[in-house]
Chains A and B, each alone.
Chain A
Amino acid sequence: MSQSESTPKKTQIATGDRAILPKGAKTIPIFIMGKQYEVPETLTIMKAMEFAGFQFLRGAGCRGGICGACPTVYRMPNDYKIHFGLACQTVVEADMYLAQIPFYPANRAVYKLEDIEARPDMINALYPELFRCVACNNCTKACPMNVDVLGYISALKQGDIARAAEISFDCIQCGMCASRCMGEIPQYHIAQLARRMYGKYIMPKAEHLQKRVDEINAGKYDGLLEKLQKMSHEELEKLYKEREREPDLAPNGTWVPQDAQYL
């Protein structure tokens, strides 16, 4: 290999949000709400719809698979199954037949977290429809995040809030579970309540944090921060260079720095 080949300096770099299409890429037909469009293969549904000329108002959000704005249902030829995916994460396939469901109504119970306790009967009272679950598992099948929705609903029916909170953690609240539920349950709202109950009342409190909060409120660092704001660039730079670095493998709360004057 010659020098010039091993240093590809003149290579054109892809720019912006429109994907560079691989060499020799061909187009494929997809059906957006029943209407055919030709789009390049390898694109996500979202980028393919934009390629076709759609500009999203609803149906696009983070474009990175975490906000729940772009749930999409689709079918494939010769396949009885209904498929679910996020438009920003699912790659188009030939003859895919799709529609977005950017919003699905689901009732959220009215509560104030500070007025309730982490008790299963509290959840049951706020969401009595929980017991309409027939364990059909359609919710789990519909989840684009592979959350075990039936798993957390079952955990809640058994009164295990902690387990429901852990299982539901990846939920992006897109509403696909609720759209498929035979029992008409608003799963993702119930999971939200369970996680907040768990975070506030069941997980152990960070006591060292409370201590730090008390110190701050007592004004312990006010003088120090006042002084820092008036420091010259040179003084700051000197202190910056002198900082000790906490060792990588030191467990939290164990390392004691040599210099304790700023703690």
Chain B
Amino acid sequence: MGYTPELKELIKRVEATRPKRLEMARKGENFPALTLEERAVVLEKFHPDYQKEGRRPVKTGPDKGLVLPEEVAMLLESRSMLRPEHVKLDKVDFDTDVLVIGAGGAGNSAALLAADAGCKVIMVTKLRHGDANTMMAEGGIQAAVHECDSPFYHYMDTIGGGHFTNQPDLVATLSHDAPLSINWLEGLGMMFNKHPDGRLVSRHFGGSSRKRMNSAGDMTGAEIMRVLRDEARSRSDQISTIEFTPAVELLIDEEGKCGGAILYNMETREFFICRAKATIIATGGNGRLHIKGFACTNHYGATMDGVVLCYRAGVGTTCMWSTQYHPTGVSYPEQNVGLLITEKVRGLGAHVLNVEGEQFCFPLEPRDVESAEIIKEALEVGKAVLTPTGRYGVWLDSPMIDMLHGEGTVRRELPAKFIQFERHGIDISKEPMLVYPTLHYQNGGIAIDGDCRTVIPGLYSAGECTGGVHGENRLMGNSLQDVITFGRRAGIVAAQYVNSGVEVKKLTMDHVVKYEKELAEAGVENPVVAPILLPDYSTDEVASRRLLQVQGMLEAE
């Protein structure tokens, strides 16, 4: 295990250039960052989002004509797993004030704040309570908490990092609420990294003008998720959580308001009608669609369900064409491929190096720029390392961290990463890591306003499934802040709506009938059934045997 002799030989080149690079770092000198003009050039040429193939206009729905990745367009042109004419909507199985769909960071925050406002909440999730990308976010959570910083600079860094394509009201909400969110989490008992006097330990990150990245070890998201889940469990008098039961269709009442959803128990294959005065979609991202074949860092359930449900009901998207490739996914060893190496490694001073052990980019560019520069170094310059399994990689010089900040820093600041590599015989405090860009985040999503409202009354959305706050590129630490800030807002605003006196009228699935008619008229043949709920990673051989079986069954009917 560990590095092969060939790779060990290459590591010597990294070690040879290290003393000089360390000297630079100690003087606070950096490899020069690109200008805005230079960024545009490298993005245009090397970032997968900017390339034409694999994209096409979507044929139906509120964003008809919008050019999207094939994998996304196909799911938007999907049909329901239910036949509306066979569903009895008058028999209500669950009745609640607020239905929260998704039980990750945004869903739990929304549920808690709605409960605070006196609402009865049902929170449903297709996997376990807390199974979400939130759990996996390692590096930290942004908030302008120090004296040299302010919401102004949080706004500025976020919208500049997003190439000024962000939706301004959402960025304002994010930067305004961020410190409130941190304060809330602190009050819930989250173990933030702090200085002895209680001051938050905050660091730089790609695209930052101020140290604004707050963290809890290198498992910030997991710590947030544990705390929120525990709090939601403490509130079981108001919040019922139903696991392994996703929503598979929204219900719209005869006045056009959202009136709940149809739930599906994946273990017993039963469907349930859930009537709710307000519904909050917090279903997370779409990494598991593997756009352009890239490996991904996402949770098993990241299949874009919420966007599909909303789109069918007439809610459009914002920035849906944009996907984030994280610059540093693992490319060796094979067992860890695609997994994320937090940006914190570079925040702590580790350089990014080519096969010669030379720096070729500023290590803390915004993520899309950093990714494009790494892809360029591999494809055009030809100076990437080639792993034994035919993957590209560049070095991430993690041993610099202990040398800059004292022995034991890697073990203390990056405990989860340390264990993950140690399992495979690599000590990242002594040997560098091999990394390459990996599919990481759904930048775009459901269109909302600064108070999480969609165009349908009673329907709200928050978190990764929404679009606009990050524009076409998200900065590190804004995703965790997104789920907490907008989750909280969605809970508050939905509760206000409920408390203002809402009466859900007769429930319908007319929007589904209408959408499927539109599909037929647009000539979409054999639309896929969605939400797909889970990916399938069986081999072609296994899948082909299943297909025969399925066809046989259909013929027998």
Contact = CB atoms under 8 A, between A and B. Distances in A.
Contacts of B339: 64
A77 interface: no
Interface string B358-390: 000000000000000000000101100010111
Interface string B131-143: 1000110000000
Contact of A61 (B131, B199, B208): B131
Contacts of B255: none
A165 B390 CA distance: 43
B189 A62 contact: no
Contacts of A89: 335, 420, 423
Interface in A189-227: 192-193, 195-201, 203-210, 212-213, 216-217, 221-222, 224-226
Contact of B127 (A17, A50, A69, A257): A69
B29 to A, nearest CB: 10
A263 interface: yes
B202 A229 contact: no
Given A22-B334, A65-B420, A216 B180 contact: yes
Given A206-B198, A206-B200, A213 B152 contact: no
Contacts, number: 284
Contact of B152 (A201, A206, A228, A253): A228
A8 B299 contact: no
Contacts of B420: 65, 89
B128 A61 contact: yes
Interface string B85-127: 0000000000000000000000000000000000000000001
Contact of B340 (A55, A56, A64, A145): A64
A197 B188 CA distance: 9
Given A112-B234, A195-B191, A200-B188, A209 B200 contact: yes
Interface in A43-61: 43-44, 47, 50-58, 60-61
B145 A208 contact: yes
B222 A221 contact: no
A64 B297 contact: yes
Contacts of A249: 28
A110 B230 CA distance: 10
Interface stretch (B456-464, B506-514, B537-545): B537-545
A2 interface: no
Interface residues of A, number: 102
B5 interface: no
A62 B219 CA distance: 13
B169 interface: yes
Interface residues of B, number: 105
Contact of A199 (B151, B189, B267, B535): B189
Given A57-B244, A89-B420, A50 B538 contact: yes
Contact of A206 (B145, B210, B227, B231): B145
A18 B295 CA distance: 9
A242 B171 CA distance: 20
A57 B266 contact: yes
Nearest to B391: A14
Given A19-B337, A205-B186, A206-B199, A55 B151 contact: no
B270 interface: no
B432 interface: no
Given A18-B539, A42-B335, A69-B131, A240 B160 contact: yes
A75 B398 CA distance: 35
B148 A237 contact: no
A122 interface: no
B323 interface: no
Interface stretch (A27-35, A93-101, A151-159, A169-177): A169-177
Contact of B146 (A57, A203, A228, A252): A252
B529 interface: no
B453 interface: no
A11 B386 contact: yes
Contacts of B211: 246, 250, 252
A62 B136 contact: yes
A73 interface: no
A262 interface: yes
Nearest to B29: A248
B131 A229 contact: no
A81 interface: no
A146 to B, nearest CB: 7
Contacts of B191: 165, 169, 195, 198-199, 203
B69 to A, nearest CB: 14
Contacts of A125: none
Given A17-B338, A66-B136, A196 B188 contact: yes
B159 interface: yes
B52 to A, nearest CB: 19
Given A66-B136, A200-B189, A263-B148, A229 B172 contact: yes
B187 interface: yes
A66 B534 contact: no
Most chain B C-beta atoms within 10 Å of own C-beta, residue among A60, A111, A213, A252:
A252
Nearest to A173: B226
Interface string B173-213: 00110011011001111111011111111101000111100
Interface string A160-173: 00000100011011
A173 to B, nearest CB: 7
B199 A20 contact: no
B547 interface: no
B534 A55 contact: yes
A257 B152 CA distance: 14
B148 A22 contact: no
B454 to A, nearest CB: 20
Contacts of B542: 52-53
Contacts of A221: 150-152, 176
Given A60-B300, A61-B127, A17 B198 contact: no
Nearest to B195: A252
A8 B386 contact: yes
B66 interface: no
Contact of B151 (A6, A20, A216): A216
Contacts of A133: none
A105 to B, nearest CB: 14
Contact of A246 (B204, B379, B415): B204
Contact of A209 (B36, B186, B208, B423): B186
21 contacts: A11-B390, A14-B295, A14-B389, A15-B290, A19-B337, A19-B389, A20-B391, A22-B388, A53-B542, A58-B244, A61-B131, A61-B299, A69-B128, A113-B189, A193-B230, A212-B144, A216-B176, A224-B151, A228-B171, A255-B148, A263-B152
Given A198-B191, A229-B172, A236-B159, 19 more contacts: A8-B386, A11-B392, A13-B390, A14-B391, A18-B537, A43-B335, A52-B542, A61-B299, A64-B340, A170-B416, A195-B191, A199-B188, A204-B196, A206-B200, A217-B180, A221-B176, A225-B176, A228-B172, A229-B169
List 10 tightest A-B contacts by C-beta distance, closest first.
A7-B382, A196-B189, A204-B198, A15-B293, A200-B189, A199-B189, A262-B152, A240-B160, A229-B168, A243-B209
